[in-house]
Amino acid sequence: MKNLHVGKSVGMKVTLLLSLSMFLSFAAFAQVPQQPSQPPQPNQEINETISDADLVTFVDVYVQVVEMQQEIEMAMMQAIEEENLALERFNEILQARQNQQSAEQIGASAEEMASFNNAAQKIMSVQQDAQLQMQEVIEEELGLEKYERIVLAYQQSPEVQEKVNSILQQKMEQEGMGTGEGE
């Protein structure tokens, strides 16, 4: 996320709202390979199995994970800077590699490529550690099964989406991360 330098309350709100989809997609990473997927349950059944207390805990976990993501982003940016690469250049080289372009095609020197590779290795390490930390928070606070059930409900039920978004908004306002008005 590139809005780290936005005003504190507005930036945190934007980060929180944009990160919700990333947090919800974490379920795909957190799951162990499963048997063929079962058809989704009707929304009513999903809604009945999730208490408001579980949704509050889900939002609390979500906020913790967002804070962790922000720290991770800073660590990744630091890894790039330690290798004397600008973020933009790192991203250019990354994009070129994903498009299977050679260093020569993008005008990258051997030194730049070595710096890129070193930074990329550091970033991968940071991401792996972060993945474990996030999974640990989810498991300790909510449990992976309950987390996955809430994610599924959030994706399928407008009612659950509304409840989660409302709880998140209330939490942001309570913690002074509201709309930024009057600041």
Give per-residue pLDDT as tens, 118-154: 999 999 999 999 999 999 999 999 999 999 999 999 9
Within-domain flag for 92 = yes
Q: What is the mean pLDDT of residues 77-100?
A: 95
Average pLDDT, the chain: 79
Within-domain flag for 182 = no
47 pLDDT exceeds 50?
yes
Number of domains in the chain: 1
* pLDDT interval class at 48 (50, 70, 90): low
Q: What is the predicted pLDDT for the residue at 18?
A: 40
CB proximity list for 33: less than 8 A, separation 6 or greater: none
Query: How far is CA 51 from its chain centroid?
Result: 24
DSSP-assigned letter for residue 178:
S
CB proximity list for 46: less than 8 A, separation 6 or greater: 40, 149, 152, 153, 156, 157, 160
As a whole-number percent, the residues of the chain with pLDDT over 90 amount to 63
Within-domain flag for 48 = yes
Helix H segments across 8-109?
8-30, 43-48, 52-82, 87-98
Within-domain flag for 153 = yes
Question: What pTM was estimated for this model as a whole?
Answer: 0.65
- Tokens for 64, please give them: 């913790």
Within-domain flag for 180 = no
Q: What is the mean pLDDT of residues 15-43?
A: 45
Within-domain flag for 50 = yes
Q: What is the predicted pLDDT for the residue at 45?
A: 54
Asked if residue 131 lies in contact with residue 22, where contact means CB atoms within 8 angstroms, the answer is no
> pLDDT for 65-85, tens place per residue?
999 999 999 999 999 999 999
Q: What is the predicted pLDDT for the residue at 143?
A: 93
Q: What is the CA radius of gyration of the chain?
A: 20
The whole domain housing 60 covers 8-27+39-174
33 pLDDT exceeds 80?
no
Within-domain flag for 87 = yes
Place of tokens 């709880």: 167
Within-domain flag for 103 = yes
Q: What is the predicted pLDDT for the residue at 177?
A: 59
Q: What is the predicted pLDDT for the residue at 7?
A: 37
